[in-house]
Every structure is written in structure tokens, then in C-alpha cells.
Amino acid sequence: MLNNPILKVENLHVNFNTYAGTVQAIRDVSFDLNKGETLAIVGESGSGKSVTTKTLMGLNAKNAAIPDNSRLLFKDRNLLDLTENEWQSVRGNEIAMIFQDPMTSLDPTMKIGMQIAEPLIKHRQMKKEDALARALELMKGVGIPNAEEHINDYPHQWSGGMRQRAVVAIALAADPEILIADEPTTALDVTIQAQILNLMKQLQEETASSIIFITHDLGVVAGMADRVAVMYAGKIVEYGTVDEIFFNPQHPYTWGLLNSMPTTDTEVGSLEAIPGTPPDLLEPPKGDAFASRNVYALAIDSKEEPPFFKVSDTHYAATWLLDERAPKVTPPEKIQKRWAHWQEIQGQEA
Amino acid sequence: MWKYILKRLVLMIFTLFLVITATFFLMQIMPGTPFNNPKLTPEALAQLKTTYGLDLPLWQQYLNYLVGAAHGDFGISFQYQNQPVSMLIGQRLPVSAQLGAQALVVGVIVGLFMGAISARNKNNKIDGVSGILSTLGISVPSFILGIILVYLFGFKWPLFPVSGWGTFSQTILPTLALAASPAAVTTRFVRSEMIESLGSDYVQLAKAKGLSDKEIVNKHAYRNSMIPVLTLIGPMAAALLTGSTLIEQIFSIPGIGQQFVLSIPSKDFPVIMGTTIVYAAMLMVMILITDILTAIVDPRVRLQ
Amino acid sequence: MMAANTEDFVIVGAQSSDANEHIAKPALSFWQDAWRRLKLNKLAVISMWFLIFIMAFAVVSNILVPQKAANSFNSDKVGVYKNLPPNSGLPIPGWDGKIKAPGDNSATDVYASQGVPDGKKFILGTDNIGRSVAKRVIVGLRISLLVAIVATLIDLLIGVAYGVFSGWKGGWIDNVMQRIIEILSSIPNLIIVTMLGLLLGSGVLSIILAIAMTGWLSMARQVRNMTLSLKERDYVLAAKSLGESSTKIAIKHLIPNMAGTIIVQVMMTVPNAIMFEAVLSAINLGVKPPTASLGSLIADAQAMLQFYPYQILIPAVMLVLISLAFILLGDGLRDAFDPRASED
């Protein structure tokens, strides 16, 4: 699986020049996306996950600055070298995006069928009628009942869940190779969330596209992702397969995220929030950005940034706790349970 | 939809009835009549009163007026005796309507254009110039602009005729004077609507579809920022009515506004009342038309 | 590979005080924050100082130029003093007491030809009966500002009271009150102003009333809409459940929270009132002569526009500048109160 990356992100930095100074929103992010896999990028708001996706779509605000050594390699091209015209043939065509809020992301004055047909007219040079015919198929594909009757509807006539299906249909219209989903279910009811997630999973199996799934909610990651990257303060702090992140987490930030996530066996009242707030990226702290909120912080954390330590071939974490000189720490009780479960799985496999 | 229009029409008629009643009784308590000329003999005065039906009891005068108004008959002018008010208005209304329509069309088109250009060039020089022009446009009242235009293009560089009505060139200056304010209002409005639209999620989605800036503006941003402009037409029509009374006076245009202004010092109450009612009716019809248009153009609005 | 020592690998925990939740910026109150943003808008600040200056000037001018001085004229010497062009006493073309009549080739020194005594100069010229335009403009400015500001204050009172009452009561009362506004707003303002002008006769008070009667509608509508949304807020519900009286809630909670919107609306009402005063003057329903207002000065001078354009210039420029300043300040305040609207 690892040997077939469709997208390689290397040393990505994104800075925003604001009146108050330069905000270092993304600070050296690298990852691969393999064909047909779903990569989840998880983090709190402000961790840089949304900026990462906007960068992948070439949709950053005008005040964004990306240094020359950053690379987004997609099909032998560095996307960062593209002109605006070249970007237009990538967006919605090779890389498409599902937005967060279906209530605001559809044009209220355009018929939904037409909004789905637009990428086809643009990228497949289809005639309007053909594009609308294909849009109808797509509407059926994303599970819109009686699609024929609703192709000429306007967004305000539809519920949030139905609209998000339409947004998914727009993203899939031109058969993109990469689908970026930016918190696609955050704005929806829980039951609708599950429907949309199932839909995405099913469509991915049909089309073999790769998905980058952005979320702050580890709960939805479990069923969706093959691999997970945890972001904090503009950096990836830990990445691995979904099992490795869930059952063998190494970074204290990942521990915090998992502890703040409700699970079926969570006792009432035992959810723990991570204390404190993410650092100000106008002046990122020296060393490990998480140190100030980390109860396991080492003295070195405030002096030097931790490198990635290898846990397995697929699993890396940037925390000094993995250094051989570091003391052995006992993670929170719930993380110990997860580790124990991991030992079981490993034992079974072995 | 038809039910809604019917409801609105009923409300309109009710409002007009209130306007007629209010103006009728206001006129009764107005100080002074055009007939307190000491030279009039008692016989002549009685004769005049009979002509105008002023010898009848008040309630009968009121009923007569109401019935007449319903038929478009607003009585006879005091000032121009033997001239029915409806005839005076009938002659002059088309002139005012043409002037108002020209100004509205010019103003809205210029405003749509400038507003869109400003929004697309937000915070640069073009936007700055258009911002200055539109702010001036709303702070310079149309009659002052009219006076400026008369001075500049009538006296200083006599390029256009500055009075009268009948040829197209005579309509140019008054149209410009009247159109400035609607143009300015529309510009400011379209600019802010368009900026909001360009920053909206659906424009982000359109970008993510791979549409070019031009396609985004033409297919998404324009429509979304143009529709709300319709809501401005009601208030702008009201402003045009006010503006055109003075503009007609300045440019000696034989419109209903000039008539209105002339009838005030001469206390020509039948003309004042008739014009008032016609003005109110015109404004109400304009507001109704824009509401219906909005419902047709904007899929989100359903009339009920 | 690194300079780190073993003692660096000691657990120190989340000791940084930054770990506790805090708001990084010093907390500014709504008004301080708005003021900070307003100060960044140069045009709005200039407009504000201009308006403060003009209003202070209008107040002080009561002592410097009493109304009588501006209204009186010497009926024996109208021929000498009438229609004198502006004379600064300096050889500035167009401001030296000379005027070029249409059709003439050279400018004539009107002061000399009409036999004005030496040394007597009118910095802004005189009108058609020999009164100083400068004095008339100062008085006119005073009257126009008085009319506009008092009318706006009345609008403010009626509009806020009506709007809060309608929104707070809700139900059928709100319904009826809104229908009334709807009906009133379908009658052109010009008509209401004209009717009241006719009824009350000319004079400053009647103009103020006539203008105030039309201006409160949009204020009432906005205040009512804000009241509707504010009355569902927690702090209002809390006050209500604590048994505070409606009047107290309105004064303590509702009005302070919509003060921004109200102030912006006031800034837009004043220029409208100034303009309506001018319209009334132009249709002979304005201030009674010999009292002057900016509007009446413009209307009077308009007849002589071709020959004596200077008589119209200053009152028209004043009127436009004051409207402009109010509008620019209103724009600035709106952006300052609602930073989202002007953000890039």
C-alpha cells in the first residue's frame, strides 16, 4: 500500500501576513496519500488542518505565503508551481472538495441539478443537456430519492442532509482522484452524519478515489480512515494506521484527544478535556509547541523540538518521550487500557 | 401568488382610502381659501361655492369626493377654472413618468455596473474613485446637482437646453440630476452585496469546482447580488417623486411635480389633493411591482 | 546528535502559566473597541471634527451674528449694496469685487460702479437687497442645523419608543403597529411634509414637526427588529424572570445593546432632514422670510443663478459638506460597530 503514493506533501510551510505580523499556520508538514486510501487529518481548530486542505486546493487567501522549498507532488507535478489557469483544471477535476456547511455552500439562486452539472460542463466539455443527464445519475448515486422530480429544485427546498448529498455529488461529478472532505459532517445531525459517512465510504469503494478526511472528531475517524495524522499547532505530531493511533498512541497530545472522545464504554463524567489553548502561531513557542499543556512535558521540550521517532514502519510520533534517555511515563488509565488491547491484537496476529 | 397580490391590492385600496380621507379633512382645516379675495362680491362668491360644491354639507362633499376619486375624478382646479384636476394630472403625469423612468433606468444600470466593478476591485483605486463618487452622489441632493448642471452646461458651456420638454436633449440634464442618487445608492448596495457574495461559501465551492473568476462572477456572484437590488426600487421611486418636483421646477418641465409646487402658494386644494393621491398610488404600485418581481426572480422568496 | 543532556529528560509537566485558558488581548469594552476602529478611519475622524466644529460655530455665532444683523437691510441704499460680488480685498480673480456679466468681455468693478463707499467689502458678496451673504449663510446654517438636529431627536424618541414597544409587546399589538408603519411608509414623505407644512404654516417649528413626522419610520422598524431578537437573549430572559419591569429592561438591557445601530441610523437621518428642509424651502413651505436657512438661501438665489452664481455657491457647498460629513461618519461608525462587515 505504501509504495503507491498519489500525492506527496513535502516540507509544507504556509505563512499568513497579517497586520499583526506573520502567522505561521503550517510549519513543516509532510505526508503521503496512497491511491484508494483514506487519510484522516485530526486536530483542534487552529491546528492548521483546514489551511492544509485549502493549500491542496490552491484556495488560500491572498495574504498566504508559501516558501519555495515546500512541495505538493501530484502526478509528477508540483502543484505549488501551477498558475491560476492550471489550478482551474485541477480543482473539481483531479482534486475535489466537500465543504463543511451544506446550508451555505450551495448557491441559493441556482438549481441544484445545474450546480452538479457545472464541473462536467467545465472539465468534460459536456453540453448542458448531457451534463444535466449525468447530474441526475449522480443525484441518484448519492441517494437522493425521486431525483428526477428534484433536479430543478433550489437549495432552500432541501434539508441539510440532502444538501450535503448534493455537495458530495458536486465533488464526485468529474471523477476526481483525490477527494478532500473538510469536516463534512460537523454541521449535520448525528443520524445524518452516519448516512453521509456511509455514503462516502460506499462511493470511495466504487470509484477507488483517495480521500483526505479533515476532522476534529476522532470518533468519526475510526470507521472511515485507513491512516491518521494528528496535527497540532501547524505540525503533524503523530501519524500511523488507524489501529496504531487508536490503540498504540505515543504522543501525549494524541492521548489527550483520545481521552476527550466519548466511546461506548466511557463512564459518565469521565471525559477529559485537554487543559489550555493552542499556542499563538504569530510567535510559535520554542521547542515542542504542546509542552505548555502537556503534563508529561520534559525539560527539553521547551528547548528543542522533538524529531519524529519511529514506532513501526508505518507509525511515527514527534515526542521526546520516545527518546531512549527519557524516563518511562505511565500514560492515563484509559490509554493504558488501549495499549493493553493493542498487545492482545498484536499477540493474536503473531 | 394571485391570492397574495389580491391581498396587497386590497391593502392598497384601504391605504388610498385613508390617504384620501386624511387629505380631504386636512384641506378642510387648512388656513385660508383662494376665495377670500375682498374684491369678490357675495354673489360671485356664492356662485363659486356652488361651482365647487362647497355649499353642500361637509359629509356630502366628502362622499362626493370619495365617489369621484374612485372614478379618477378629483374635482375642478381652483387656479385654472373649468380645468378638471384629472385632466391636468393626465397631461402632466406622462411627462413626469418618462423623466422618472429614464432616471431610474440610468441610475440602476450605472449603479449595477459601478457596484460590481468596485467589488471586484475592492480597496484599490477604481474602488476608491467609485466610493468617492457614490458618497458624493448620496450627499448632493438632486436639486443642487440640477442647479450645478444648469450652471455648467446651460450657462458656462451651453451644451444642452436647460428648460422645457419635448426633445430628447431637453431630458438629458434633468435625467442626470435625478439619476445620480439612485446610481449612488445602487452602487453602494451592489458593492457590499457583491463583496459578501464573493466571500461566501458557495463562491468557495464554485472555486473548488475549478471555475474561473469570471465564471464565478457571471454565474454565481452577479445573480446573488443583483436580486436584492430590487428591494431598493421602492424607496428609490419615492425619492424620485420628491426629487422630480424640484427638478421639474428648475428645468421648467411641465410635469406633475411642477404642477404640485405651483398649486401650493395658490392654495389650489383640488390639485394638491389629486396629486397627493396619485403620488401615493404610484409609490404603492411601484412597491407592489418590485415585491412581485423579487418573488419571480429570487427562488427563496414565496409570496404569501 | 543533540546538545541535550540527561537532565533535560526530566518530567516537568505543564508548568507554564500559559497553559491556563486566557484571552491574550486586553479586554476592551464594546465602545472602546469601536472607538479604536473608528480612529483608524481617517475620513470618519475628519468628518467628526468638522461636524463638531460646525456645531460649535453655529452655537457661538449666535453672539457674533445675531439674526437681526443678517435680516435687516437699508431700503434706501438697495441700489448701492445689492448683488455685490465677493470681495476679499485681495487681487484674486473672482474674489476681488469684480464680476464678468454674461456677454461682457471684461469684468466690471461692481463696488465702484454702484458707488459703494471705499473700504466697505463683503467677503462673500451681497444678495439682491444688499444683505451680506456671509451673515445670511451663518444664520442659515444655524437654522438648518437646528431644524435637522431637533427633528432627528424627535425621530429618535418616537422611533425608539415605538420600535421597542412594538417589538417587546409582540403579538397583535406588534402586528397592528407594523401595519401602521407599512401604511405610512407607502405615502411619499414629500406629501406628508407638504401637508403638515400647509397645515402648520411656515416657520421653524412647523418645519421641524413636518420633517420629524416622516423620519421616525425607519428608526422604528430597525429598533423593532432588534428588539425582537434581543428579547430572546439570556440576559433579557434572566432580567424578566427576576421580575424587572419592562421599562427597566428596555432602558437597562435593550437600548444599550442596540445603541450602535441607533447611532448609525441617526447619522443617516440628519442629512435627510437637512435635505427635506431645503425641499420645503424650495416649494415655498420653508422658513418665513426674512429668516434664512441653507435651503431658502439656495431657493432664493436660484432665480439669479445665471448672473450671480456666487450667491448659491456657499449655501449649497455648506449643505453638501454637512450631509457628506454625516454620511461619512455614519459609514465609519457602522464599520466600527460591526467589524465583520468591513473585514478583508
Q: Write down the pLDDT at residue B32.
A: 63
Final residue in a domain of this structure, among A210, A225, A240: A225
Question: Total domain count for chain A?
Answer: 2
Structural domain total, chain C: 1
Query: C152 pLDDT exceeds 90?
Result: yes
Residues of C whose CB is below 8 A from B241: 188, 190
Give the chain A residue whose CA is nearest to the CA of B299. A109
Shared domain check, A256 and A191: no
Print the domain residue range for A241: 230-349
Q: CA C203, C207, C212: angle at the middle one, nearest 5?
A: 155
Interchain contact, A106 vs B202, CB within 8 Å:
yes
Radius of gyration of chain C (CA): 29
Pairing of strands A64-65, A5-18: antiparallel
- Indicate whether A145 and A283 sit together in one domain: no
d(CA C50, CA C36): 19
| Pairing relationship of beta strands A38-42 and A227-232 according to DSSP bridges | parallel
Task: Report percent pLDDT > 70 for chain A.
Answer: 96
Domain end position, chosen among A204, A225, A246: A225
State whether residue B214 sits within 8 Å of chain A by CB.
no
Residue C15 is assigned to a structural domain of this protein: no
As a whole number, mean pLDDT of residues B21-33 equals: 77
| DSSP letters spanning A241-293 | EHHHHHHS--SHHHHHHHHTS--TTPPTT---PPPS-PPPTTSPPSS-TTGGG
Beta strands in A43-171 (DSSP E): 64-65, 71-74, 77-78, 95-98
Percent of chain C beyond pLDDT 90? 14
pTM equals: 0.81
CA angle B36, B42, B47 (to 5 degrees): 90
Cβ-based neighbours of A211, under 8 Å, separated by 6 or more: A37, A38, A39, A178, A179, A180, A181, A200, A204, A224
Measure CB to CB from residue C21 to each of A276, A296, A325 and give the nearest one.
Answer: A276
| Three-state DSSP class for residue A48 | coil
Chain A: touching chains (3 or more CB pairs < 8 Å): B, C
- Asked whether the beta carbons of C212 and C151 are under 8 A apart, the reply is yes
Q: Which of A162-171, A176-185, A256-265, B76-85 has the weakest average pLDDT?
A: A256-265
- Candidate from A276, A303, A327 with C-beta closest to C19: A276
Write the CATH number for C231.
Answer: 1.10.3720.10
Q: Do A104 and B227 touch (CB under 8 A)?
A: no
Strand partners, A42: A215, A230
With 0-12 / 13-18 / 19 or more C-beta atoms within 10 angstroms meaning exposed / middle / buried, residue B211 is: buried
Q: Is the pLDDT of residue A1 over 60?
A: no
Please list every residue in chain B whose beta carbon sits closer than 8 Å to the beta carbon of residue C305: 147, 150-151, 155
> Does the structure show a pLDDT above 70 at C250?
yes
What pLDDT score does A239 carry? 93
**Shortest Cα–Cα distance, A279 to chain C (Å):** 9
Mean predicted confidence (pLDDT) in B95-120: 92
- Answer whether C269 touches B (CB < 8 Å): no
Closest listed residue to residue B50, CA positions, set B61, B63, B66 = B61
Q: How far is C18 from chain A (nearest CA, A)?
A: 7
Which B positions 24-63 lie with beta carbon below 8 A of chain C?
Answer: 26, 29-31
What's the mean per-residue pLDDT of chain B?
A: 85
pLDDT score of C104:
65
If interface means Cβ-Cβ distance under 8 Å, which residues of chain C face chain A?
2-4, 6-16, 18-22, 24
Of B18, B196, B222, give the one whose Cα is nearest residue B117.
B222
Chain-chain contact of B18 with C320 (C-beta, under 8 angstroms): no
Examine residue C169 and state whether it is found in any structural domain, yes or no.
Answer: yes
Contact A104 B201 (CB under 8 A): yes
Q: Give the Å distances, CA to CA, from A262 to A218, A253, A258.
A: 9, 16, 8
- Per-residue model confidence as pLDDT tens digits over B260-273: 888 887 888 888 88
Residues A93 and A197 in one domain: yes
Burial (CB count within 10 angstroms: exposed 0-12, middle 13-18, buried 19+), residue A212: buried
Q: Do A209 and A66 share a structural domain?
A: yes
C75, part of any domain = no
Domain end call among A177, A198, A225: A225
Q: Write down the pLDDT at residue C20.
A: 47
SS3 C65: coil
E strand intervals along A132-209: 178-182
Average pLDDT over residues B17-25: 85
pLDDT, tens only, C252-274: 888 888 888 888 889 888 988 88
- Give yes or no: residues A200 and A299 share one domain: no
Q: Which residues of C45-61 are buried (b: 16+ CB within 10 A; e: fewer)?
A: eebbebbeebeeebeeb
Distance CA(B142)–CA(C282), nearest Å, equals 12
Mean pLDDT of all residues in chain C? 80
**C188 touches B: beta carbon within 8 Å:** yes
Nearest residue on chain C to B237, alpha-carbon basis:
C188
- pLDDT tens for B113-163 read 999 999 888 888 988 888 889 989 988 988 889 988 988 888 888 888 888
- Site from B8, B12, B144 to mutate, C interface, most C CB atoms within 10 angstroms: B144
CB atoms A156 and B299 under 8 Å: yes
Q: Which of residues C9 and C317 earns the better pLDDT score?
A: C317
Q: Are residues A194 and A268 in the same domain?
A: no
Q: pLDDT tens-digit profile of A30-85?
A: 999 998 899 999 988 778 888 888 899 888 877 888 888 888 998 888 988 888 89
CATH number assigned to the domain comprising residue A307: 3.40.50.300
